[in-house]
């Protein structure tokens, strides 16, 4: 019953006033692609430009949830509104989240200044990164100044989130091969701040030194990522982490890098909207789906190749006369 314009208006106003119930409903509409999706995203986007997004990533078992909860408590003590988005790797088959082992701190769950939302992957390529960006933009529209995005595991989704976040915190623990794994997964390149959590364990100092040596090889940016140590379960090192995140944000603004990233992000977003709409239009009924389906037998028989069929469709669309066979 949100399909009527009146109710959509009420919902948008509720989100803009920072009401979590309205926020949760708006997110569901967007996630489920229900009527009003585009209108919601378009109307809420301009309100969300002042939030700051911090991605927290690292291997499972690194203590990310605890660290995020402590960080949220820290921001709450400074009277900031906090959004926590947990992006879980799940089964493309069942569609449901399999991570039942997440235990959030009670005070965080019950705090009315904190909004928590979990997102599950849907098995669609590139889908989760896009979905996460949309959810983040809604949470930002509520006036939430601190958005913490926690990703579980290592993989493509971390790289997607890294593009969305202002600051990426990579959490590692002194365990066998953690540093090596992080390097393999490309985490060393996306981190703006590094945390050796569970720093009371053996090997913590060794891991810290290892990370710093690898970071010394990074010559891509002016920002030198700090390597901090925390014991999240005891709350130790959290203030320093919040300061490091703040320092990185200040650097983003003074260096112009933040502006540059926002421009890039907007460009990608517009491109994605245009391309998705065109793709949807191309293959819907009345589009070129039939032309494509009719060509299948000839491709299956080896008489045609997918490129010549694509060229036919491109020519028919009037958008492009042919594939650039020389430099495509």
Scanning residues 1 to 30, which ones bind a second copy (CB under 8 A)?
3
The least CB distance from residue 179 to a second copy, in Å, is: 12
Query: What whole-number distance in Å separates Cα of residue 317 and Cα of residue 171?
Result: 48
> Given CA atoms 240, 241, 245, 251 in this order, what sign does their dihedral have?
positive
Angle, alpha carbons 116-183-215 (nearest 5°): 95
What is the Cα 37 distance to its own chain's centre? 19
**Piece of the chain touching a second copy by CB under 8 A; list 19-27, 227-235, 238-246, 287-295:** 287-295
Q: Which of 1, 6, 32, 33 is in the footprint of a second copy by CB under 8 A?
A: 33
Number of Cβ atoms within 10 Å of the Cβ of 21: 10
User: How is residue 46 annotated by DSSP?
Assistant: G
Does the protein bind a second copy through residue 315 (CB under 8 A)? no
For residues 108-127, which are near a second copy according to CB under 8 A? 121, 123, 125-126
Residue 106 vs 328, nearer CB to a second copy: 328
Residue 123 vs 206, nearer CB to a second copy: 123
Residue 46 vs 112, nearer CB to a second copy: 46
- The beta strand positions in the chain, using DSSP E, are 52-57, 82-88, 114-120, 146-151, 167-172, 193-196, 227-229
Q: Total number of residues binding a second copy (CB under 8 A)?
A: 89
Query: What whole-number distance in Å separates Cα of residue 140 and Cα of residue 36?
Result: 19
Q: Which of 185, 228, 238, 241 is in the footprint of a second copy by CB under 8 A?
A: 185
Q: Helix, strand or coil for residue 231?
A: strand
Q: Helix, strand or coil for residue 29?
A: helix
x-marked contacts with a second copy along 50-79 as a string, rule CB under 8 A: ------------------------------
**Piece of the chain touching a second copy by CB under 8 A; list 11-19, 225-233, 244-252, 282-290:** 282-290
> 228 pairs with which residues across the strands?
195
**Piece of the chain touching a second copy by CB under 8 A; list 63-71, 108-116, 186-194, 249-257:** 186-194
For residues 190-229, which are near a second copy according to CB under 8 A? 190, 218, 220
Q: Which of 19, 31, 39, 240 is in the footprint of a second copy by CB under 8 A?
A: 39
Number of Cβ atoms within 10 Å of the Cβ of 19: 15
For residues 91-110, which are near a second copy according to CB under 8 A? 91-94, 98-99
Secondary structure element (H or E) that encloses residue 74, with its range? helix 64-77
The least CB distance from residue 173 to a second copy, in Å, is: 16
């Amino acid at each position: 019953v949100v399909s009527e314009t009146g109710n959509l208006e009420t919902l948008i106003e509720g989100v803009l006033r920072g009401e979590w119930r309205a926020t949760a409903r708006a997110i569901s509409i967007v996630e489920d692609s229900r009527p009003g999706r585009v209108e919601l995203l378009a109307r809420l986007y301009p309100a969300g430009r002042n939030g700051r997004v911090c991605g927290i990533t690292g291997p499972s078992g690194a203590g990310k949830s605890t660290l995020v909860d402590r960080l949220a408590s820290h921001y709450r003590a400074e009277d900031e509104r906090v959004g926590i988005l947990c992006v879980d790797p799940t089964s493309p088959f069942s569609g449901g989240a399999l991570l039942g082992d997440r235990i959030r701190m009670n005070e965080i769950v019950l705090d009315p200044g904190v909004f928590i939302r979990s997102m599950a992957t849907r098995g669609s390529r590139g889908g989760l990164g896009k979905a996460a960006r949309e959810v983040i933009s809604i949470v930002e529209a509520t006036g939430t100044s601190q958005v913490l995005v926690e990703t579980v595991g290592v993989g493509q989704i971390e790289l997607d989130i890294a593009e969305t976040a202002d600051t990426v915190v990579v959490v590692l623990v002194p365990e066998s091969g953690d540093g090596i794994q992080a390097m393999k997964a490309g985490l060393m390149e996306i981190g703006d701040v590094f945390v050796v959590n569970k720093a009371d364990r053996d090997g913590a100092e060794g891991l810290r030194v290892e990370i710093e040596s690898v970071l010394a090889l990074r010559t891509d940016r002016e920002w030198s990522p700090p390597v901090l140590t925390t014991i999240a379960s005891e709350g130790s090192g959290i203030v320093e982490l919040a300061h490091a995140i703040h320092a990185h944000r200040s650097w983003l603004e003074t260096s112009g890098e933040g502006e540059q990233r926002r421009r890039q992000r907007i460009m990608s977003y517009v491109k994605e909207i245009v391309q998705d709409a065109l793709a949807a239009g191309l293959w819907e009924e009345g589009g070129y789906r039939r032309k494509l389906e009719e060509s299948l037998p000839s491709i299956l028989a080896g008489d045609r190749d997918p490129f010549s069929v694509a060229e036919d469709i491109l020519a028919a669309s009037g958008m492009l006369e042919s594939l650039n066979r020389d430099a495509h």
